[in-house]
Amino acid sequence: MPKYSCYDNRELSWLKFNHRVLEEANDERVPLCEQLSFLSIFQSNLDEFYMVRVGSLFDLPPDTKENKTYMTSKEQLSAIFKESRILLHEKDMIYSKLCKDLKKHGVEIVDFHSISEAEANFLERYFKAEIEPLLSPQIVGKKQPFPFLQNKAIYAVVLLEKKGSEKLGIVPCTSTVIPELIPLPGNTHRFILSEELILHFMPDVFSHHTIKSKTLIRIIRSADIDTEEDKMGEEEDYRKAMEKLIRKRSRLQPVKMEFSRLMDPAVISRLCEYLNLDESQVFHSEAPLKLSFIFKVRDMLRHNKSLFFKRRVPQKPADIDMRSSVMKQIEEKDRLLSFPYESIKPFLKLLREASTNPEVVSIKMTLYRVATNSKVVEALIEAAENGKDVVVLVELRARFDEENNIEWSRRLEDAGCRIIYGLDKMKVHSKLCLITKKKEGEISYITQIGTGNYNEKTSEIYTDFSIMTANDEIGQEANRVFNALCLGQTVTETKHLLVAPNCLQNKLLDMMDMEIEKAKEGKPAYIGIKVNSLTDKKLIKKLIEASSFGVKTEMIIRGISCLVAGIPGETENITIRSIVGRFLEHHRVYIFGTGENEKVYISSADFMTRNTLKRVEIGIPVMDKGIRNRITDMFRLMMQDNVKARIQQPDGTYRHAIAYGKEINAQEQLYEDAYANSVKE
């Protein structure tokens, strides 16, 4: 057996994850419209990867080495570009196949090679009347310099010839007033993409030139803005400074260009020169450069339920009575919500109750990402208007949600809430809500800690846990966390909660050491971890050490894993699997020990150094035995998944789990259980 490394590169591991997403687009067991969605998700994932990760690699000196595989930033970029070409070629083939399947259901995306003369005449009239008046063509020259190209927008580029000289012509194709799909006449669902229509009529747009070649291009710009406060003016309002940085992001350096038609290499070289790109950053795509139109196609086929996943609705939790006070039920015993299988409504009702309950004196909450029309924020505003002391930490540096959070911070502030923006050089990623009550001089708390954001929309498509407890010691520790945040500090010690940056990684290492000691003594030793990503080298080294002493370790890691499992003598006692299915696996669970000695935590923190040491994250021990059993039962079910699970191999690749008997799709089974157990009113 060849010798493999225990470590994988972070960026290449992420590309493997996105390949698993692409596999869902090619899985015939997935309904057709859902396959299309996975194809679109693959592309948007890759766009964000280039904007964030590739952008940050370009900011590093080329000989900078990462700390696991010791690849330099230059070597990583080269490997990323090579792997991207393979993935994009596979995407093109899958798109072509899905288009053939769509045609069987009456929807067709056409080009000028597959339409009738009558349809061509209609499109010419449509272009002249509806599109050409809206276009802004430009010829690049001394008096018209190369234009600024918007991130992710599509442009038609043509090589023009006139009187023996050649120039580039550029026409923006992305517009809010031009529909993405242009319907052909008749009752059938036949469409042409607007950018293809524009490209076809470039000879009419540049009628005084000869067009030698033409293509569509789309660029991706870096989004790696520096949000550190020390780069901002000392007297500058933080919220205004963030608004400036967001505007700056739209103009950062391009990191990738895609084009749809093969052109003269000299033209590609010229575009690269204008955009300051190396030709290794340029990719040819046979599929459309933008796939957002897929969601319009899905809407056309809504009548055919067989093309979609079975409809699922988050259920009322079995142990929460929505006709009674949620606050009182939490005071009786801890309560668990499991999203998306159970509804977020009990938590929303808790907030509404707290906003009007005369015993409630304050509500403190961290907000990282919230829904566009957030009922959570509405409840906080109502509480402030009712005279409660409402303190909200709004993290303005939540990537790509900065503008949304800036607006919510204004609305909360206008309603009388106290707003804080987190800590210097450290994002607050924790999901923490603390309700403080005072009755007859006695202080009591209700604490909610979750693995996911306070977002009603994502609670229906992300898998997450939310624990609500009236435990006084938990409430006191949560209050200390908030007090520290209000002072711009972090807690340095805790008894129960795991709180990064000072009291999470070290406590995890201690619990792993305890399992190692058990294994040394010949006692049962176990570690179970469910996270989205694993990159923290200290934790990885400890997991390797635990494996070498025989600690059985089961890990469910949706995305990046810089640890490679199953290597004899090193990680042979570790199993790593990834579940990519209908819902985004998002909850984080840590399990240590077995039987009566078992410890279970849920947390907001992935096993990444940015989470364990560079952010404020929070985890809570699951103290209620019934809830602990529910969570571990769900973990075991996911470990048995043989439909949507892939198992990591010693060479770092992933293979689908093999169903030797009954097929187990954990997500579908958990929804079936939620329906069976739901309270029927």
pLDDT per residue as tens digits for the range 44-81: 999 999 999 999 999 999 999 999 999 999 999 999 99
- The answer to whether 206 and 360 are in contact (CB under 8 A) is no
pLDDT at 2: 61
For residue 209, the 8-state DSSP code is S
Per residue in 176-218, pLDDT (tens digit) is 899 999 999 986 789 999 999 999 999 999 999 999 999 999 9
Give the span between the Cα atoms of 432 and 620, in whole angstroms: 10
**Is the pLDDT reported for residue 226 higher than 90?**
no
Q: What is the average pLDDT value for the chain, to the nearest integer?
A: 93
Locate the DSSP E strands across 359-491.
360-367, 389-394, 418-420, 427-428, 432-439, 442-450, 462-469
Q: Which ranges of 26-116 does DSSP label H, i.e. alpha helix?
A: 32-49, 55-58, 73-104
Give the span between the Cα atoms of 338 and 320, in whole angstroms: 12
Per residue in 516-573, pLDDT (tens digit) is 999 999 999 999 999 999 999 999 999 999 999 999 999 999 999 999 999 999 999 9
Those residues whose C-beta lies under 8 Å from the C-beta of residue 481, and which sit 6 or more positions away, are 430, 432, 491, 497, 499, 616, 618
Nearest alpha carbon to residue 408 among 426, 395, 399, 424: 395
Where does the pLDDT of residue 451 fall: very low under 50, low under 70, confident under 90, or very high at 90 and above? very high
Nearest alpha carbon to residue 431 among 497, 494, 384, 509: 497
- List the single range of 29-33, 417-421, 428-432 with lowest mean pLDDT: 417-421
Per residue in 572-582, pLDDT (tens digit) is 999 999 999 99
Average pLDDT over residues 584-607: 97
Query: Which H or E run includes 182?
Result: strand 181-183
**Is the pLDDT reported for residue 229 higher than 70?**
no
Nearest alpha carbon to residue 112 among 41, 199, 179, 37: 199
14-41 burial: b if 16+ Cβ within 10 Å, else e: bbbbbbbbbbbbbbeebbbbbbbbbbbb
Q: In what order do the strands lie in the sheet with 138-139?
A: 138-139, 165-172, 154-162, 210-221, 254-259, 282-284
- The answer to whether 238 and 256 are in contact (CB under 8 A) is no
* pLDDT, greater one: 251 or 447: 447
pLDDT at 68: 95
Q: Which amino acid is at 57?
A: L
Where does the pLDDT of residue 162 fall: very low under 50, low under 70, confident under 90, or very high at 90 and above? confident
Integer distance in angstroms from the first to the last C-alpha of the chain? 60
Rounded (10°) angle between helices 32-49 and 10-25: 160
**Is the pLDDT reported for residue 227 higher than 90?**
no
Average pLDDT over residues 85-107: 97
Which residue shows structure tokens 């305890």? 514
pTM of the model: 0.94
Residue 265 preceded by cis peptide, ω within 30: no
**484: which 2 tokens?**
């520290």
Burial degree of 461 (CB within 10 A; 0-12, 13-18, 19+): middle
pLDDT at 649: 97
For residue 113, how many other CB atoms are within 10 A of its CB? 5
Locate the DSSP E strands across 563-675.
574-579, 584-585, 588-592, 599-603, 615-616, 618-621, 645-648, 654-656
- The answer to whether 361 and 438 are in contact (CB under 8 A) is yes
**Is the pLDDT reported for residue 470 higher than 70?**
yes
pLDDT at 264: 82
Let me know how many helices (H) and strands (E) the chain has, helices first: 20, 28
- List the single range of 231-240, 342-351, 412-421 with lowest mean pLDDT: 231-240
Half-sphere exposure for 372 (CA within 13 Å, toward CB) = 0
Q: Which amino acid is at 102?
A: L
* pLDDT, greater one: 251 or 457: 457
Query: Which span out of 109-113, 183-187, 268-272, 629-633 was modeled with the highest average pLDDT?
Result: 629-633
For residue 419, how many other CB atoms are within 10 A of its CB? 17
Query: Which span out of 236-240, 419-423, 600-604 was modeled with the highest average pLDDT?
Result: 600-604
Half-sphere exposure for 505 (CA within 13 Å, toward CB) = 23
**Is the pLDDT reported for residue 144 higher than 70?**
yes
pLDDT at 680: 65
- The answer to whether 586 and 602 are in contact (CB under 8 A) is no
pLDDT at 230: 43
Give the span between the Cα atoms of 178 and 632, in whole angstroms: 51
Rounded (10°) angle between helices 73-104 and 10-25: 0
Average pLDDT over residues 327-355: 97
**Is the pLDDT reported for residue 232 higher than 60?**
no
Query: Which span out of 280-289, 362-371, 424-433 was modeled with the highest average pLDDT?
Result: 280-289
**Is the pLDDT reported for residue 249 higher than 80?**
no
Which residue shows structure tokens 């529909």? 179
pLDDT at 235: 47
pLDDT at 250: 64
For residue 7, the 8-state DSSP code is B
pLDDT at 238: 64
Average pLDDT over residues 459-486: 97
**Is the pLDDT reported for residue 163 higher than 50?**
yes
Give catalytic residue positions: 429
